[in-house]
């Protein structure tokens, strides 16, 4: 995953990627404000963990309701901040309702004591207890959803949260804080901080912080992982992805290509688990690429606040668009075929025409690097074995999907994918479905039952006969 953050941010600032125009700006917190937040988080933890989980659930349920009640306001904010098409922005807010409701409902059973067999006698059980204040470092591509999947299970567990959002998303960060406050989350339990990168290092080192969750780039993950390890803190890292999307066969190539294209353009291609590598059997490859090209070639830049049919939205920033254009140009200069799109509109806006690329080879940046934007990279393979080999020839291991009219054939291929999420004839997503990867895509899981299993003290409680 890409990030717009820099290592010496002096403020949190909105720059509308559809226009390049600057918007609201907020100063970085003072060191004294950071210390106040840490003290408040620790103090709040002492009381929040004692609140019965059912009562915490009632507050989290109110958080859930407010995301949908305020979806129009929330949607307008992130469309301005990072260019997400307005309908998708509203959908993201509503998805947060699903996530908070899931953990409010399922949390008590997921966190319940689990009795285990004590072969030597006595009674033994595993308890899931809160560990204390946590630091969340969140990205810009899903400003609400990313926070929800970290915050919801940990609020239910009784942990407290210090949240550092992306520098480009201050208004959405403040909107989340207001939801928490208005829902009755006690003071200090959830706190947004406009922290600098130097302050983040200090927060991780602080003995009151018991764990860190980061969603971001490999580079950010390496830095945060090192800081967490140095300070003996538990860390969850959700990093980049270059997911294989394997089409072995289909009864309708046009429909298969349309589905693949729609998946790739979700959030203007800026999703960690997007289908960044389409691996297509040689018998349908030419028709598949032709259909993708038809879908891409007539798209025009549009206002994401209007999201008119036949238009595409900007990327999150001008620098993101320029970086993606450089990756495309590198591939073309080394022999790849650009079938459509890939043109960068003159600045200061962040529009890059959705592209279709074939002929990618290992010496090109696009073979190894994540393309975080609307680029369909399509590979031709002649066998299932070749598809598996290519799918696994990646530094990433977030997700992957395999499609075939023969479900058992698809299952066999999907079983061999070196990923954290393997899918057959669709992609499993939802508040109840765990999310996370392996290899350089990070470690740890969010959402679903596993989402409440990361930042807990899995305490043994043993009573002798």
Say if residue 3's pLDDT is above 60: no
Instruction: Enter the tokens of residue 1.
Output: 């995953």
The three-state secondary structure class of 187 is coil
Backbone angle region of 354, left / alpha / beta, with phi > 0 → left and psi within -120 to 50 → alpha: beta
Residue with tokens 């057959």: 424
Between helices 253-265 and 282-297, what is the axis angle to 10°?
50
Determine the pLDDT at residue 1. 52
Please give the average per-residue pLDDT across 136-153, as a whole number: 98
**This prediction's pTM:** 0.96
Distance of CA 394 to the CA centre of its chain: 19
Give pLDDT tens digits for 351-401.
999 999 999 999 999 999 999 999 999 999 999 999 999 999 999 999 999
The answer to whether residue 272 is catalytic is yes
Query: In terms of Cα–Cα distance, which of 186, 227, 235 is closest to 210?
Result: 235
| Cis? peptide before 348, omega within 30° of 0 | yes
Distance, in Å, from the CA atom of 254 to the CA atom of 76, rounded to the nearest integer, reads 34
291 is catalytic: no
Neighbouring CB atoms inside 10 A of 48's CB total 22
**Catalytic option among 106, 169, 272, 370:** 272
Q: What's the pLDDT tens digit per position in 170-204?
A: 999 999 999 999 999 999 999 999 999 999 999 99
Select which of 80, 218, 238, 454 is catalytic: 238
């Amino acid at each position: 995953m890409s990030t717009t953050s820099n290592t010496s941010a002096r403020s949190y600032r909105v720059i509308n990627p559809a226009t390049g125009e600057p918007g609201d700006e907020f100063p970085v917190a003072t060191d004294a404000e950071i210390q106040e937040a840490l003290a408040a988080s620790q103090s709040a933890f002492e009381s929040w963990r004692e609140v019965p989980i059912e009562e915490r659930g009632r507050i989290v349920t109110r958080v859930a309701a407010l995301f949908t009640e305020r979806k129009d306001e929330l949607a307008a904010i992130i469309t301005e901040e990072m260019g997400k098409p307005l309908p998708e922005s509203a959908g993201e807010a509503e998805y947060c309702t699903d996530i908070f409701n899931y953990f409010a409902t399922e949390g008590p059973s997921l966190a319940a004591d689990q009795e285990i067999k004590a072969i030597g006698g006595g009674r033994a059980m595993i308890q899931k207890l809160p560990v204390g204040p946590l630091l969340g470092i969140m990205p810009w591509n899903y400003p609400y959803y990313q926070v929800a999947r970290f915050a919801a299970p940990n609020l239910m567990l009784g942990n407290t949260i210090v949240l550092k959002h992306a520098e480009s998303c201050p208004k959405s960060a403040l909107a989340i804080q207001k939801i928490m406050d208005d829902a009755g989350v006690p003071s200090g339990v959830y706190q947004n901080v406009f922290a600098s990168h130097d302050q983040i290092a200090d927060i991780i080192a602080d003995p009151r912080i018991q764990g860190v969750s980061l969603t971001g780039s490999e580079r950010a993950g390496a830095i945060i992982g090192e800081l967490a390890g140095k300070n003996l803190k538990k860390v969850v890292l959700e990093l980049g992805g270059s997911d294989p999307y394997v089409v072995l066969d289909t009864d309708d190539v046009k429909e298969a290509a349309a589905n693949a294209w729609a998946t790739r353009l979700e959030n203007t291609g800026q999703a960690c688990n997007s289908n960044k590598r389409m691996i297509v059997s040689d018998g349908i490859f030419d028709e598949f690429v032709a259909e993708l090209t038809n879908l891409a070639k007539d798209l025009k830049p549009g206002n994401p606040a209007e999201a008119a049919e036949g238009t595409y939205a900007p990327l999150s920033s001008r620098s993101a668009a320029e970086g993606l254009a450089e990756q495309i140009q590198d591939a073309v200069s080394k022999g790849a075929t650009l079938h459509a799109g890939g043109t960068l509109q003159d600045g200061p806006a962040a529009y890059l025409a959705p592209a279709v690329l074939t002929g990618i080879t290992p010496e090109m940046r696009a073979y190894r690097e994540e393309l975080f934007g609307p680029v369909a990279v399509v590979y031709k393979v002649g066998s299932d074995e070749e598809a598996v080999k290519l799918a696994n020839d990646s530094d990433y291991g977030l997700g992957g999907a395999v499609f075939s009219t023969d479900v058992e054939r698809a299952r066999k291929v999907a079983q061999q994918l070196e990923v954290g999420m393997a899918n057959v004839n669709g992609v499993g997503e939802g508040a109840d479905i765990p999310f996370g990867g392996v290899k350089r895509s990070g470690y740890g899981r969010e959402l679903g039952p596993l989402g409440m299993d990361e930042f807990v003290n899995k305490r043994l409680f043993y009573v002798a006969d």
